[in-house]
Structure 1
């Protein structure tokens, strides 16, 4: 993704502003994406709103990811303090991460 660190402010007539907003709505994307796409002469990427169930599922997955991250931090802390690693626990955590990565991939919309 291109660096979007530059901000551009411009003034438009009410009619022009309405036309830009209508074009973005028609393209199914944000006003910013619509303007970027049209300036670059490319097709805009539509914005996809997640349904309530999708948002709930992604929130659940974020929570699971946070728990796994916490477990990994605890394993790292013990390893740093003792110089020992419980490889079976680490292998189990890796399996959980891989399973969660698969769930996240399934939950996210296709970006093609």
Structure 2
């Protein structure tokens, strides 16, 4: 037991006890500052996260508008193509009818020449 008392007296007389108290105090202060820093860091990350979410929502909206514009343009082009196809079909029918008439006339002329 006297060894323990000697060690305690040595610690107290050499300033070790004061150092221990200072260390404990600094530790509490550092933890308090660390907590404050953590809160500030969380606040910064929270702001960054909110801004990122807002930016992503804006980008989503821009892409949606671009998609809708592209879809409308596509529909317009398909509509124009359908009109052209219809015109081509009409012209093809007219041409086919004219070819049939010419073929018929050609046959009649051949009969007249032979006959």
TM-score by length of 2: 0.30
TM-score by length of 1: 0.30
Q: Which has the larger radius of gyration?
A: 2
Query: Which structure carries more helix by proportion?
Result: 2
Q: Which is bigger in relative contact order (C-alpha 8 A, separation at least 6)?
A: 1
